């Protein structure tokens, strides 16, 4: 590894630490992981944040249910439960969408990565 490669690796490590710390401490998000890609995707930043504690209103077997994100995720993972969707205008989904947009804005602000080729991905993680 030459000096340029060491510097790039150190920069990536520092960026990972800064994103994780700022999302967690300054903005209060429960961060699951912040990693960089490898190989041809080494410039990509992958951020996973745990779902916030919100409830979703769903219809299951024709009856209304109120479930946590983890329960909704589990229902969707079960093959025999295909087609479970939140009822129209579920407050939980609306809140998660707003929070997701906020996390993406913060990642852009923290890293300076913007635009169509921002080279970061963001996803929600279910806390087990």
Beta bridge partners of 120: 45
pLDDT tens digits, one per residue of 2-25:
656 665 667 888 888 888 888 888
pLDDT tens digits, one per residue of 19-67:
888 888 888 888 888 888 888 887 788 888 887 777 777 777 777 878 7
Give the separation between CA 103 and CA 93, rounded to whole angstroms: 15
N- to C-terminal Cα separation, the chain:
38
**94 is in which domain, residue-wise?**
3-125
Number of domains in the chain: 1
Q: What's residue 22's pLDDT?
A: 87
């Amino acid at each position: 590894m030459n000096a340029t490669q060491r510097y790039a690796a150190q920069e990536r490590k520092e960026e990972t630490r800064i994103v994780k710390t700022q999302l967690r401490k300054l903005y209060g998000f429960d961060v699951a992981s912040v990693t960089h890609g490898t190989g041809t995707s080494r410039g990509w930043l992958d951020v996973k944040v745990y779902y916030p504690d919100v409830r979703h209103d769903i219809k299951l077997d024709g009856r209304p249910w109120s479930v946590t994100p983890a329960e909704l995720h589990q229902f969707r993972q079960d093959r025999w439960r295909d087609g479970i969707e939140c009822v129209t205008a579920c407050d939980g989904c609306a809140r998660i969408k707003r929070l997701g947009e906020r996390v993406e804005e913060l990642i852009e602000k923290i890293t300076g990565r913007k635009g169509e080729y921002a080279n970061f991905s963001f996803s929600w993680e279910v806390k087990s």
